[in-house]
Structure 1
């Protein structure tokens, strides 16, 4: 009896590992996927704001240690905590959301360290300007979601860019040119 139970348990574990071993595409879950950005404001403080609407997919082949990502940020969903400042950030001096309502990050190279991804290399397009960017992955986990039972991958990643590289140099150097972009994503395996 014990041997049958052990065989059944090992078979179940094998199926779980196999579910994450083959190439798979995951779709961003909107309630747990956000992009934040922070910058130095006149040396008074580091201001942090976020975009409330981020969509996209991530494809991972953990066995081959490959992957890609296609992420879209709705720039009109910027949330600074102030309606007045949201409008200021959406103006032509900064995001110019009327002309450029989205920003994208398209990565075709996922770098692995051991069995887990450590970076995504791709192109960030912001305000109509495209630049190569590497997102350092600071946290990564794939497993069965404890409530839904679905296969889910989650990650945190960040990079630093210069806003002047994306035609947003207003108030530089008084307002910092360097911007840290941090993304939190939880994505569900496509069925």
Structure 2
């Protein structure tokens, strides 16, 4: 007959492994730092110039699991915080023909898939998801041009920083007034920083 202790060793070892497994592969949640996260958009103005504006208030979360190579992004943009550099034009672009912020005070991006680069360096290269603007949802892909995940030197916690870009047609979101004289294609660039919860 085997000693009782030998019957306990295997189950205890299995339980220990199961308990450790989630810790090894647990996804981490990062909260958007609104003071360092600004979506910017640019478009052609009658061919004379490329106009550049931004939104001043953005919130949301990023979930990142380095070991599993998975992630999720959930962003909320306050469209009433649009900043064109002109208070009069801020009001103009919030009107019904454009952002219609009275009815749609936010825009959102929710990821459906995060694409990672091949190789040992665990960095996302694209985020597929749905952009909802003015009550219209369309699939978009954010191309990530830079990504960093490391301890924040000031916050003393892990942080994520990234830059990403995509191009949409504003007419796809019922905001196409004056197109094509004022460019229908709008480039969106977002600089984002998020701090681990």
- Asked whether 1:62 is paired with 2:70, we answer no
TM-score in terms of structure 2 length: 0.85
Selected match of 1:99 from 95, 103, 107 = 103
Selected match of 2:185 from 155, 159, 178 = 178
Indicate if the aligned counterparts of 1:51 and 1:73 stay in contact, CA closer than 8 A. Answer: yes
Q: Which runs of 5+ in 2 are unaligned?
A: 1-22
**Highest Rg: 1 or 2?**
2
Change in Cα spacing, 1:80 to 1:20, as seen in structure 2 (3 Å) is farther
Using the TM superposition, give the Cα deviation of residue 34 of structure 1 relative to its aligned residue in structure 2, in angstroms. 0.8
- The CA distance in 1 between the partners of 2:112 and 2:158, in whole Å, is 22
- Asked whether 1:156 is paired with 2:156, we answer no
Runs of 4+ in 1 over 6 A off after TM superposition: none
Q: Which runs of 5+ in 1 are unaligned?
A: 1-18
TM-score in terms of structure 1 length: 0.88
Following superposition of structure 1 onto structure 2, how do residues 101-140 of structure 1 map, counting pairs within 5 Å? 101-114=105-118, 115-140=122-147
Using the TM superposition, give the Cα deviation of residue 47 of structure 1 relative to its aligned residue in structure 2, in angstroms. 0.3
Change in Cα spacing, 1:84 to 1:146, as seen in structure 2 (3 Å) is same
Give the secondary structure class of the aligned counterpart of 1:26.
strand
- The CA distance in 2 between the partners of 1:148 and 1:103, in whole Å, is 28
What are the Cα deviations for residues 36-62 of structure 1, in whole angstroms up to 9, with x where unaligned? 000000000000000000000010111
Using the TM superposition, give the Cα deviation of residue 30 of structure 1 relative to its aligned residue in structure 2, in angstroms. 1.1
Count of paired positions = 172
Selected match of 1:143 from 150, 162, 166 = 150
What are the Cα deviations for residues 140-188 of structure 1, in whole angstroms up to 9, with x where unaligned? 0010111221110110111000000000110011000000011111100
- The CA distance in 2 between the partners of 1:141 and 1:79, in whole Å, is 27
Give the secondary structure class of the aligned counterpart of 2:35.
helix
**Aligned residue in 2 for 1:24:** 28
Instruction: Tell me how large the CA RMSD over aligned residues is.
Output: 1.3
- The CA distance in 1 between the partners of 2:36 and 2:162, in whole Å, is 10
- The CA distance in 1 between the partners of 2:155 and 2:57, in whole Å, is 22
Using the TM superposition, give the Cα deviation of residue 108 of structure 1 relative to its aligned residue in structure 2, in angstroms. 2.4
- The CA distance in 2 between the partners of 1:20 and 1:28, in whole Å, is 24
